[in-house]
Amino acid sequence: MAMLTPQSLLRIVIEMIFVLLGALAVWLGVTGRIFVDRAAAPWLILSIALILWGLYAFFKPGRGWLRGERWTRGLSLTLLGVVMLAIARAPFLWVGKLFALAGLLLILRGLVGSVLILRPR
């Protein structure tokens, strides 16, 4: 295996941050320690912003070998925004499960992104 370039190493570290953030969200969802106002305007604005950011990632022009990374990024951000909108409207008993689902999406994004970065080109 060849040495990682500084750019690739930074991208791997960023993907691992997504894995850790997802693990935190899963833990919060499972333990029920969620203390956010899910009906507040900032939650809804963030949800819509994530959906739009994810859709932008799909249509952003880029190099051919980045296509898989763009799809991973776009799909994960769009799904995360949709789950956050669902959390805002779901009954309280479902909030923990949906929060854990959002965490699993982040973990999956980090792992798939890492594999795509480390694959040979």
Q: What is the pLDDT along the chain (121 residues), one digit of tens a residue?
A: 567 888 889 999 999 999 999 999 999 999 988 888 888 999 999 999 999 999 998 887 766 657 788 888 899 999 999 999 999 999 989 999 999 999 999 999 999 999 988 887 7
Please give the residue range of the domain that contains residue 91. 8-118
- Please tell me the predicted confidence (pLDDT) of residue 12: 92
The 3-state DSSP class for residue 22 equals helix
Answer yes or no: is 38 within a domain: yes
Answer yes or no: is 52 within a domain: yes
Which conformational region is residue 52 in: left (phi greater than 0), alpha (psi within -120 to 50 degrees), or beta?
A: alpha
Answer yes or no: is 94 within a domain: yes
- Please tell me the predicted confidence (pLDDT) of residue 92: 87
Answer yes or no: is 2 within a domain: no
Q: Structural domain tally of the chain? A: 1
Answer yes or no: is 3 within a domain: no
